[in-house]
Structure 1
Amino acid sequence: MEPLTINAPALSDEHGSITVPTTPEAIADIRRTPGGVEVVPDTQFKNSRAQTVKDVLDWVPGVFVQPRFGDDARVSIRGSGLSRNYGNRGVNMFIDGVPINTSDGLVDLFEIDPTAYRYVEVYKGANALRYGGNSLGGAVNFVTPTGRDAAPFAGRLDVGSFGYRKAQASTGGAEGAYDYFITASAQRFDGYRDHSDGDQQRLSSNIGYRFSPDAETRFYLNLNRIRQRLPGEVSKRSALETPRTANPEFERLDQQRNIDSVRIANKTTLRFDDTTLEFGAFGVHRHVDHPIFQWLDYDVDDYGGFVRLTDNLRFAGFDNEVIAGANIHNGEIDNRQYANQTDAVKGELLSSNVDKSENISAYLQNSFYLRSDLALIAGLQFQYAKRDRRDRFLSDGDQSGSRSYRNYSPRIGVLWDIDPQWQAFANVSRSAEVPSYDANTFATPASSTVDDQTATTYEIGTRGERPNFHWDIALYRSEIDNELQCLTTSPFSPCTVVNADRTVHQGVELGLGLGLLESVLVAGDRVGFNATYTYSDFFFDDDRRYGDNELPGVPPHYVRAEVRYDHPDGFYAAPSTEWVPESYYVDNRNQVTADDYALLNFRIGYEPDTSNWSAYIEGRNLLDKRYIGTVAIAGTADEQAALFNPGTGRAVYSGVQYEW
C-alpha cells in the first residue's frame, strides 16, 4: 500500500502526459473515492516473478486470486463470481481503460502481462463508477507507461521451475509533441501439472501527441498470441496425493485454450480551466480455438467508446465537483462448436450461433464539500443491456432468443479528510450484473429465464499513515438478490448458471505496513512488516434449497504476511507466508471442503538506487505443501467429484532487469 496523498497534484505539466496520470497522480485521484480502492505501483510486483494476476493483486485486501495453470486464475473481489472456474465474471477488467471482458461480461486473464504495466487501479464493488460499476466485484485497470515516464530501453529475463522462462523488453521516449512506448514479451513453460504447458507472446504500445499543454490524444495497440493446454479438475484425493497428474479425459481430448487477439484504442483529454473532458473509442478482435469437451471455434468482435466530464466549481460559496460520463460496449460472437473426437481433432459441426450484446451505461456523481476536508457524495448509474442469440444450426430446433435488462444504481457516501494523512469514508451503493451468454442459452425454457443479479452494499472504512505505519481498513455488507451461480455437474461439460434466492456477502479488508527496526546491522538498514487480511462471511439467506448454508468457493480467512530486511546498499531479504487457516466448502450443500493450508516463501534480491540493474531469487512453497489451489463449484458434491485443481509445489525462480 502506497503512502496516502490527500490533495491531488495537478495533472502532469508539459514534461508529462495528461491522458495518463503518473503513479502519484493516480493514487491521489483514486483516494477521492469514498470506498475501497487501491493503486498497486509496479515497484510492488516487478521485483519478483510476475507471471499471473495473482503476482500483482495478491496483496490487495478483499481480492482473492486462485491460480489454475499457466497464466489462468480465478479472481474474486468481495465474493464476485465465486462459482466460476472458467471465464471470470463479476469483475470488469481493463487495459488502459479498454475492456478485456467480452461484451457479455466474461473475461479471461491470459492477455494480461504483469511486466508491461506502470501501475494497476483496483476499484472494489460500486466504487468503480467510472468504469461502469455495475458488477459486484468492481473493476481493475492495468495502466501501461507512456514515452514521457519510460526508460529509453529496459529488459528482463526470468527463469524457474517447471520449464519457466520469460523475456521482456521495452522502449520509450518523447520528442517535442510526440511520445511513444512499446513493450513485448515472450514466455514458455512446461507447467507443474501434466498437460499444462503453454507459450505466450504479447505486445503493448501507445503513441501520444500533445496539441497544446491542455490537449492530448493517445493511440493504443495490443497484440496477443496465447497457447495453453488444460490439465482439468480432478478428485480431492488425486489433487493431494498425485498433484502433478492431469485429468485423463482432458489429456485424451488434448484440451486447450488458444487465443489470437488485437486491440486498438484512442483516448483524448482536453482541459478548459476547471473542466476536463476525456473521450475515446476502442475495437477488439479475438479468434479463440478452444478444444474441450467439444471444439469451440469463436470469432469475437467488440467495440465501444466512452466520454467523461469532470467539472470543479463553487456552488453557493462551497467547493463542488461534478463527474458525468457514459460507456458503450457492444459486440458480436460468431461461435461454432464441433465434435472433439480425440487429440483435438475437429469433427462434425454440432451448433452455430451469432451472439450480439449491447451495453450502455451512464453515470453522474456530485461531490459537495461542506468543508474543505468533508465531502458528501451522491451518484446514480443507469445500465441498459441486451443479449441476442441467432441460431444458425436448426436441425435440433431453433434456439434463438433475446433478453434485455434495465437497472438504476444509486449511491451516497461521505469522505472525511481527518488530517492530511488520514481519511475516513462510508457509502451505500447499489449494483446490478447481467448474465453472460452461457447463462441464457435459449436452448430450453429453464435456460432462458436467468435474471440479473442486484445488490445493495453498505461500506465503512479508513486509510492513512503515521511515521513507520500505514493502514487500509474497510468493512462491508452486500445483500444480494438472484446471485449468479455457475454449478458444475461434470468436468467434461460447462457449468449450469442459476439464480440463488437471497445471499449475503460481508467481510473485513485489512492492509497494514509497519517499520519495525532501523540501523539493526549497519547504519541505514531497516526491517519492515507488511500484511493483508481478508475475512469473508458469505452465506445463503433462508434459501429454499440451501437454507442458511455457507456459500462455497472462498475461505473465511486469507492472510498474506511478509517481513523484509533492506540494506542501504540495495540488498533485501523477505520471508513471507500465504495462509488459509480454515477450510471452505466446494458445494452448496456444504458436504465437501477444500482444506486449510500455509505456504512458506522466501525472496532475496539486489535493487540499488545508484545502478540500472536489479536481480532476485525467489522460492515459493518451500515446504512443498500439497494443497488445493482452486475449485469448481457444485450444488451437491462428494469426495470423488472432479472439482479440484492442486496448488503448485515447491518452485524456485530468478530474474534480472536492466534499463538505461
Structure 2
Amino acid sequence: MFPVFSRGPRPLRRGSLAPVPVILLALMPPAWGQSSGDALPTISVEAEAQTAPPLPTAFTAEQARREIQQTPGGVAVVSAEDYKNSSVASTIKDVLGFVPGVFAQPRWGDDTRLSIRGSSLSRNFHLRGVQLYMDGIPINTADGYGDFQEIDPTAYKYVEVYKGGNALQFGANSLGGAINFVTPTGRDAGINSAGIDMGAFGYRRFQASVGGAHGPWDGFFTAANQHAEGFRDHSDGHSTRVSGNIGYRFSPDFETRFYLNANDVRQRIPGSISRTSALTSPQTAAPGNLALDQQRNIDTVRLANKTTLRLDNTTFEFGAFGVDRHLMHPIFQWLDYRYKDYGGFAKATDDRIIGGFRNRLVAGINVINGTLDNRQFANLGGQKGALLSSSLDRSRNTSVYVEDSFYVLPNVAAIGGTQFLYATRDREARFGSKSGSTEFNLWSPKGGLLWDIDPTWQAFANISRSAEVPSFGESASGPGIPNIPFTDIRPQRATTYEIGTRGKRPDMTWELTAYRANIRDELQCIYSAFGNCNVTNADRTVHQGIEAGLGVAVLRGLFDHGPQPNKVWLNVAYTYNDFRFDNDPTFGNNQLPGAPRHMLRAELLYKNANGYYIGPNVEWVPQAYYADSANTLTTDAYAIFGLKAGVDDGKYSMYIEARNIANTAYIASTSILDRATATSPLFEPGTGRAVYAGFKMKW
C-alpha cells in the first residue's frame, strides 16, 4: 500500500504559510509485489498537461492511490498483488489485515467481524457502520446492514478504504466509513487467469477470469467456486460467485459500462460459545445451532451502469443500479427476506486554475432506496414452520455532498465540504408485527488541511462530522427491559478530529494517524434479554486511537548486489483502540466491549529479484478485551505465528502458507452483551493449525 503523490499541474505563486505541526510519525505496510527500492516516479508537469489521464474506471491501483491521497485523512488502497497471489485470500481479513485501524476477524465461513475505528461493535450479526461498495455500487441493503458473503477477494484489482468522514463522496453516513471493491476492465493487463487453492479443513477454490478489448468494446468476467468443510463443527459451506463488466468507449473522454455481479452462497453457522469452550474445545458448535441447523444462505443478482464523460477540466460520472437479494436464514426463527434495492448516483469533479490558484471541486448525489419483504417462520430443525410475523419494510436514502480543495500554496490545500442526508424508514405490518415510520435530516460538515511536504511525504489534519441512521434491526424488548421500537432510536452522531502523515521513501513506507471521535447516541448494547444484545442509544461515548504501519527494507543485497538487489522486508501494522463510555449513568467510563485495545500484525519476508519469497508472520493481541459493557468478562490474550513461501514471476505464481503453526487455541472475536456471565455464549474461536497451497497463471 505504497503512498505515491502526484501534485499535478498546479500554479506557482508567492506566499507563505506557517508550517503545519506534524508530531506523529506514521508507518504503513508496502504494496505486495512492488519493489521498495524502485525510484520514485518523475513528476513532469509538461507531460501531464499534454497526455490525457485515464478515466476513473481505467485507474490502476497506483493511480487510485494518487487520487485517494487528495483526501486529508485516513485512507488506503490495497492492490490485488498485495494478497491474491501469495495467500489463500478467502476472507476480508486476508485483504485488509495490514490496513491499520481496520479490525477484521473471520467468525465462520466468509463471515467476518469488521470494525473501523470502533464501528459496529454492538452488531453481533451481519455488519453495520461501514458501507460496502462494488465498483461504487452499494453492497449494503438500503437500511444499512451488510455482510461479506457476496465478496470474492479474487475478483478485484484493488480495494479502496475510506475511514470515517473521509468517505463523504460515497454518501457514507457512518463512523466506520466505506470500502469500495474495484474490478478490472477488459483494458487492464494480465486479466486472463486461472487458479486453484486447496488446504486444511476441506478447503478448495477454483477461479478463472477472461477479458479483452476490441475496438471501442471491452469486457471482463471472473468466476470462483469455493467449498470448505470448516474448522468447527457445523461450519461447512460452498459458494459460486460471478462478476463482470462490459464497456463501450465513444472516445478517450467518454465511455459507458455495464456491471454484473451474481452470488449463490450456502453456509452453515456453528454459533458463538462460552469462553471455556472456545479455549478448550474450539471446534465445538453451539448446541442450539446444531438443533436448529442454523444457516445463512444468499442468492444475489446485482446490475448497474456507469457512464463517464470528461469535458476539459471536469469529469462527470453517473449511473443507476438494481439489486435482487434473497436471504434464507434459519436461526432462532426461519428468516425469509427478499430485498429489492435500487438507486442512482451522479458525481462531478472539476480541477482547474482559478485566479492563479489550483481548485478542485467534487460534488454529487447518491440515491439508495429499497424494500424488504420480511417474513419470519418457526424454525423446525432447519425446516420452515408456521408464519410468525410479516412486514414490508421500505428504506429511502438521498445524500448530497460537496467538497472543495483550494490550494493556498502549490503544495498546501485547504479543504472544506459537507454532506446532507435525507433518510426514511417505514414498516408496514402485515402479521405479528407493528407498523411505524421515521424520518431523518442530517448535515455532516468537514474541514481539513493537506500538505505535500515533498513528492514522497504528506501530512494532513481534519475535523469531520458523521451520522449513522439506525436500521430496522435496532430496538429493545424483553422481560425486565424497556420496550423501545425502532422508531424511537435516534441516529448516531460523531465529531472526529484527525491528524496524521503518510509517505514513501526508497526502501520505506509509513503511515501514522491519531484520531478522537466524540459520539452522541452511539448505537450500543444497553439491555439484553435471552442472551441477545438489544441495540439502543448510549448517551456519550468516545472512540480514539492510533493507526500506524511501517514497511522497511531492513537488509538489502543479502545475496545479490545487482540493479534489483534481494531484500529482507519488514511489514508492521499496529492499531491502538481506546473506546469507552463517557460518564454514562449505568456504565460510567467503562471500556466499550468488542475490540482489542492493541493489535499487531507483522511479517518479515526475504524477497528475491526473481520473484521468490519466504518469511514468518505473527498476529499478536497482547491484552484481553471485554465482551460486555459492565466489563466483567474478557477474551484472552494471544499470539499466533505463520510462515509463507512462494514465487511470482508475473505470469506464474505458486505459494504455500502455514497458519497458526503452534495450533494455539484463541478467541478471534466476540459478540457482546450489557452484562455477561462466565457461561455467556459470546465467543468465536480462531482457526487451528492450517496449511494452504495454490497455483495461478496469467496471460
Query: TM-score, structure 1 length as denominator?
Result: 0.96
Mean CA deviation greater in 447-456 or 314-323: 314-323
The equivalent position to 1:569 in structure 2, one of 566, 585, 610, is 610
Corresponding residue of 1:132: 171
Which residue of 2 is the match for residue 112 of structure 1? 151
Matching residue's letter, 1:311? D
The superposition leaves residues 170-208 of structure 1 with CA deviations (integer Å, 9 ceiling, x where unpaired) of 001001100000000000000000000000100000001
Deviation at residue 304 of structure 1 after TM alignment:
0.6
**What is residue 647 of structure 2 aligned with on the other side?**
606
> What is the distance in 1 between the residues matched to 2:493 and 2:296?
31
- Cross-structure match for 2:5: 5
Cα displacement (A) at 1:6: 3.0
Alpha carbons 1:150, 1:181 under 8 Å: kept: no
Paired amino acid for 2:639: A
2:157 paired with 1:122: no
Residue 337 of structure 1 aligns to a residue whose secondary structure is strand
Q: Tell whether 2:588 aligns with 1:547.
A: yes
- What residue number does 2:65 align with? 27
Q: Which residue of structure 2 lines up, in the alignment, with residue 362 of structure 1?
A: 400
Shift of 1:318: 1.5
In the other structure, the counterpart of 1:416 is 451
- Structure 2 residue aligned with 1:282, among 321, 330, 344? 321
Partners of 2:559 and 2:309 lie apart in 1 by: 52
Q: Aligned with 1:221: secondary structure?
A: strand
- Separation (CA, whole Å) in 1 of partners of 2:610 and 2:286: 49
Quote the offset at 1:87 in angstroms.
1.1
Which residue of 630, 635, 641 corresponds with 2:669? 630
Alignment map for 1:222-621 (pairs within 5 Å): 222-342=261-381, 344-393=382-431, 396=432, 399-440=434-475, 446-447=484-485, 448-486=487-525, 489=528, 495-523=533-561, 524-609=565-650, 612-621=651-660
- 1:191-232 superposed Cα distances (whole Å, 9 cap, x missing partner): 000000000100000001001111011000001000000001
Distance 1:483 1:21, change over 3 A: same
Instruction: Work out the CA distance in 2 between the residues paired with 1:432 and 1:217.
Output: 33
Q: 2:219 aligns with which of 159, 175, 180?
A: 180
Counterpart Cα distance in 1 of 2:372 and 2:172: 24
Taking a change above 3 Å as real, the CA distance of residues 489 and 442 of structure 1, as seen in their structure-2 partners, is closer
For the 8 Å contact 1:6–1:417, the answer to whether it is kept is no
Aligned-partner Cα distance in 1 for 2:510–2:237: 39
Deviation string, structure 1 residues 293-316 (Cα, Å, up to 9, x no partner) = 000001100001110011123333
1:577-609: CA deviations, max 9, x gaps?
Answer: 000011100000000000110010100001125
CA distance in 2, matches of 1:73, 1:581: 21
Per-residue deviation, 1:68? 0.3
Query: How far apart, in 1, do the equivalents of 2:306 and 2:53 lie?
Result: 19
Q: Which amino acid aligns with 1:7?
A: R
Q: Distance in 2 between matches of 1:437 and 1:327?
A: 21
In the alignment, which residue of structure 2 is the partner of 1:217? 256
**Kindly tell me: are residues 644 and 455 of structure 1, through their superposed partners in 2, closer, same or farther at Cα, counting changes over 3 Å?**
same
Show the 5 A alignment for 1:80-99.
80-99=119-138
Distance 2:569 2:642 in 1: 16
The AA in structure 1 aligned to 2:611 is: G
Letter in 1 for 2:596: P
Taking the aligned partners of 1:303 and 1:412, their CA distance within structure 2 comes to 31
Partner of 1:162: 201
CA distance in 2: counterparts of 1:452 and 1:263, whole angstroms: 28
In 2, Cα distance between equivalents of 1:243 and 1:491: 23
Whether the aligned pair in 1 keeps the contact of 2:476 and 2:527 (CA below 8 Å) is no
Deviation of the 1:25 alpha carbon: 1.3
What is the Cα deviation at residue 282 of structure 1?
Answer: 0.4
Cα distance change on mapping 1:530 and 1:356 into 2, 3 Å: same
AA in 2 matched with 1:607: D
Question: What is the identity, as a one-letter code, of the residue corresponding to 2:249?
Answer: R
TM-aligned CA distance change 1:369 to 1:227, over 3 Å: same
Does the aligned pair in 1 maintain the 2:476–2:484 contact within 8 Å? no
Asked whether the 8 Å contact 1:6–1:31 carries over to 2, the reply is no
Q: What secondary structure sits across from 1:495 in the alignment?
A: strand
* Deviation at residue 429 of structure 1 after TM alignment: 0.4
Where 1:126 maps in the other structure, the secondary structure is helix
- One-letter amino acid of the structure 1 residue matched with residue 664 of structure 2: K
Query: What's the offset of the Cα at 1:154?
Result: 0.4
CA change 1:315–1:325 in 2 (3 A) is same
- Using the TM superposition, name which of 149-158 and 109-118 deviates more: 149-158
Whether the 8 Å contact between 1:435 and 1:451 is mirrored in structure 2 is yes
Q: Which one-letter code corresponds to 1:335 in the other structure?
A: N
Identity level (%): 54
Q: Which AA in structure 1 matches 2:442?
A: N
Aligned length: 653
Comparing both chains, which one has the higher relative contact order based on Cα–Cα distances under 8 Å and sequence gaps of 6 or more?
2
1:636-651 matches, cutoff 5 A = 636-651=675-690
Cα gap change, 1:234/1:12 in structure 2, threshold over 3 Å: closer, same or farther?
farther
Does residue 73 (structure 1) correspond to residue 73 (structure 2)? The answer is no
Letter in 2 for 1:410: P
Contact 1:48 1:616 in 2 (8 A): yes
Change (3 A) 1:454 1:647: same
Which amino acid in structure 2 is aligned with residue 123 of structure 1?
Answer: Y
TM-score normalized by the length of structure 2? 0.91
The one of 75, 82, 87 equivalent to 1:48 is: 87
Aligned mates of 1:317, 1:519 — CA distance in 2: 47
Of 235, 240, 243, the residue aligned with 1:204 is 243
How far has the Cα of 1:7 moved from its partner?
A: 2.8
CA contact (8 A) 2:55 2:253 kept: no
After TM superposition, give the deviation of residue 153 of structure 1 in Å.
2.3
Q: Deviations over 1:474-498 (max 9, x none)?
A: 0000000000024684677x53111
SS in 2 for 1:255: coil
Q: How has the CA–CA distance of structure 1 residues 588 and 79 changed in structure 2, closer, same or farther, with 3 Å as cutoff? A: same
The change in CA–CA distance for 1:551 and 1:440 in structure 2 (over 3 A counts) is: closer
**Secondary structure at 2:511's aligned position in 1?**
strand
Name the CA shift for 1:154/1:543 in 2 (closer, same or farther; >3 Å): same
Q: Identify if the C-alpha distance between structure 1 residues 66 and 17 changes in structure 2 by more than 3 Å, giving closer, same or farther.
A: same
Give how far 1:152 is off.
5.5
**Contact in 2 for aligned 1:555/1:583 (Cα 8 Å):** yes
Structure 1 pair 555–12 and aligned structure 2 pair: CA distance change class (3 A)? farther
CA–CA separation in structure 2 for the residues paired with 1:591 and 1:348: 39
| Closer, same or farther: CA 228–562 of 1 in aligned 2, 3 Å | same
Structure 1 position 23, deviation (Å): 1.4
Distance 1:615 1:491 in 2: 49
User: Unaligned 5+ residue runs, structure 1?
Assistant: none
TM-fit CA distance, 1:434: 0.4
SS of corresponding position for 1:128: helix
